[in-house]
A and B are shown apart, each in its own frame.
Chain A
């Protein structure tokens, strides 16, 4: 332990602690910009580039960047002397001098760390005027890169490389010309980007934002000839309240349903319904594959991988084109919902496919890409027309002048609004495989599950495993969230060393509760645990907690699909995967 003095306070910290962290321990908050910490993963982005966090160290000539300067025994530090405050202001003004002045209309306005600092430091004038770096805007189906707004904090590079191991982004070029970009400055769409969107969730400015579809939805809602159907993903209800000042982990299912109805959606349905449907199809496939494997069928490959997460699907299509037969062929709940809404439900209410618009509210940005994939279209008409994020829905509710906090609790419409506790935990890492186990256990053993909760599958560790006893059949289950963790399990599968029968993967840390479409958490990853707890609590309160007991699902099979894995089920609810080549297509110049 060493002892130092920060703002006249004595602080004792471990040797090797940075000044920033030592100050935090003493309850002194030093402003930061490029610094970002993912506490539960032990990953810290500290390029020491922005210099907002400088402090004065007595006896040292220059100001010290506190995020990368180690605290020393006996140091005397001032975190808000005049010299420090002036330096921070100058640094901030220099950063702003190469930043567009369109705050009022910026997609990040109100959530921008740079804007917040400008407010905090009372920046009212801009003495530094000069050339600004200019770069083209890069628009992909999910993410928009506008690097004119990039301040080179490199948080996106950290999360894309360290956390996700995707490696789509790196700092390129030098000095004034430097930007964060994919290799050869190709478009994100041509890069190995998975659209997990985690870069968007850590970007401090408007350099990385989601592609907003609110306007298209407003157009659809105001077109009387269209029947507009909305579905909401499990994780949205556990986070939407945060956008209205409610504490993290507040479940707002009822208010969310009322808000959607007020916005004018004709039917307010639940992706939880199709999550139950996913379990029916994926659970059946799991059992079929395990049975085939046990009977020695050489065509059956194990483990089976979940396929609900579109970021994860993109990841294995890019990186494991040799393993495309390993994931379940079941579509994601979003796409299953669209396929059923535009067939079974459209028929039921007598609406033509082309007159129905299906909107999804997702905690996710990869869903935007997923819904426009060609294999999810019929005659060019997509099963899901638009996918908006939790943040976009919150903004939409605010635009419509709806007082969210005062809304009464509404109920989902029938029949695609009925769901079970198994579906609502889809939003948590481990939730999909837990839901699958609940159903697969009863289908396999023919016995009633005594304890519905599989606590051994829960938690926030990046890679988890458990053995579930199916009445004598021991199934090894693996769980990974965050794509670097998924890569480890996939490499084992590729090498033939995997001990698992089934693996659940979610691209985002924490699963969908930590999705890139969720309210920004500004580095406070503790909110993920609170959202997860809210979903487990919602599960507890559901009268039915197993997917195969959902009456609307049972009816759907009776009236329409036949049985899980039937020909029609395969046509509507299953998909195939495509190898995405990462080969370089830029040719020799000249």
Chain B
């Protein structure tokens, strides 16, 4: 399991010349240690353009999301246009350019959860947190995402907060779940 690194807004204050895996210097708006991490990820896939999706998966695992600067660096190392990287990032709903909240909330809207009222649970989260699906609260604490089936259909409807699973969630229980993380 790779080490988790969070890119903070402050990280983008840096603007330095760094070296990509091909030895060519580029200017990227990221601190050196993040660049090194991206180089390491790209190297682990031999900087092969065919591994773009895997590289992006790994980068999102480490950084939590894929900001423009990370995509730029990946494009540079894989020798492909950054427009192409952005095309892949925007095609797959798994990839995100918005940092997830400290406590990412995932609501299952797979068939079983859906028929047991997942939609109303989702609406309640949206109402309580004041953000849409795919967004993060301004304080960075919560984000809402939908997913399809976590393999716990017996507990439908299911909600995940981080790695913790909540089963048989009703709209009335939403407030209480949020409160658990709001101290």
Hey, which bits of chain A sit against chain B, CB under 8 A? 161, 166-174, 181-185, 191-192, 581-590
CB–CB B81/A161 < 8 A: yes
CB–CB A172/B99 < 8 A: no
Known: A183-B71, A183-B83, A184-B68. A590 touches B90 (CB 8 A): no
**Chain B residue total in the interface (Cβ 8 A):** 30
CB–CB B82/A183 < 8 A: yes
CB–CB A174/B91 < 8 A: yes
Chain B 65-84 residues near chain A, CB threshold 8 A: 67-69, 71-72, 75, 80-84
- Chain B residues closer than 8 Å to A185, beta-carbon distance: 86
CB–CB B68/A172 < 8 A: no
Hey, which bits of chain B sit against chain A, CB under 8 A? 7, 9, 12, 26-29, 67-69, 71-72, 75, 80-87, 90-91, 93, 97-99, 136, 138, 140
Known: A173-B90, A174-B90, A184-B68. A590 touches B138 (CB 8 A): yes
- Chain B residues closer than 8 Å to A584, beta-carbon distance: 28-29, 68-69, 71-72, 82
A170 to chain B, nearest CB (A): 4
11 A-B contacts (beta carbon < 8 Å): A167-B80, A167-B83, A168-B83, A170-B83, A174-B90, A174-B91, A184-B86, A585-B29, A587-B29, A588-B67, A589-B98
Known: A172-B86, A589-B97, A590-B98. A167 touches B81 (CB 8 A): yes
Known: A174-B91, A583-B28. A588 touches B12 (CB 8 A): yes
Which of A170, A581, A583, A587 is close to B86, meaning CB atoms less than 8 Å apart? Answer: A170
- Chain B residues closer than 8 Å to A161, beta-carbon distance: 81, 84
Q: Which applies to chain A's interface (DSSP): helix, strand, loop or mixed?
A: loop
CB–CB A191/B136 < 8 A: no
- Report the separation of the CA atoms of residues A167 and B29 in the bound assembly, to the nearest whole angstrom: 21
Which 8 residue pairs of A and B lie closest in terms of their CB atoms, listed nearest first? A167-B81, A170-B83, A170-B87, A183-B83, A183-B82, A586-B68, A584-B72, A183-B86
- Report the separation of the CA atoms of residues A170 and B68 in the bound assembly, to the nearest whole angstrom: 15
Which of A171, A192, A590 is close to B136, meaning CB atoms less than 8 Å apart? Answer: A590
A141 to chain B, nearest CB (A): 20
B100 to chain A, nearest CB (A): 11
- Chain B residues closer than 8 Å to A169, beta-carbon distance: 83
CB–CB B72/A170 < 8 A: no
CB–CB A588/B86 < 8 A: no
B25 to chain A, nearest CB (A): 9
CB–CB A583/B81 < 8 A: no
- Chain A residues closer than 8 Å to B93, beta-carbon distance: 174
B92 nearest in chain A by CB position: A174
CB–CB A173/B99 < 8 A: no
B77 to chain A, nearest CB (A): 14
Among B12, B27, B82: residue with most chain A CB under 10 A: B82
- Chain A residues closer than 8 Å to B72, beta-carbon distance: 183, 582-584
- Chain B residues closer than 8 Å to A582, beta-carbon distance: 72, 82
- Report the separation of the CA atoms of residues A590 and B73 in the bound assembly, to the nearest whole angstrom: 21
